[in-house]
């Protein structure tokens, strides 16, 4: 299992466009991905679940990867987060 944390810097937080793009990135991997906060994790491949997190600027996003391509999934996700959020 690989876990990464990322502090959201986008002034709008995790709004619809980057949330949808992130779900698309995560859906391209076989590994299970949980995304959220220390208090609440959801399936990272489900857009509505990710949107319900209502993450704001300054919140710390946690992603947990578990599966055969977890390393590649975590690397691609980190690249996406740094470029978009």
Collapsed DSSP state (helix, strand, coil) of residue 43: strand
* The two structure tokens encoding residue 65: 């990867």
Indicate if 50 belongs to the active site. Answer: no
| Cα distance between residue 53 and residue 41, in whole Å | 9
Q: Tell me which of 6, 10, 15, 43 is the catalytic residue.
A: 15
**Residue 67 per-residue DSSP state:** S
E-assigned strands of the chain? 2-7, 32-36, 41-43, 60-66
Which residue numbers are catalytic? 15
């Amino acid at each position: 299992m690989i876990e990464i944390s990322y502090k959201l810097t986008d002034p709008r937080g995790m709004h619809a466009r980057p949330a949808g793009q992130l779900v698309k990135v995560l859906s391209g991997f076989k590994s299970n991905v949980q995304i959220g906060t220390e208090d609440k994790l959801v399936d990272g491949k489900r857009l509505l679940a990710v949107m319900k997190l209502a993450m704001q600027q300054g919140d710390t996003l946690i992603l947990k990867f578990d599966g055969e391509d977890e390393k590649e999934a975590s690397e691609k996700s980190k690249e996406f987060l740094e470029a978009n959020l």
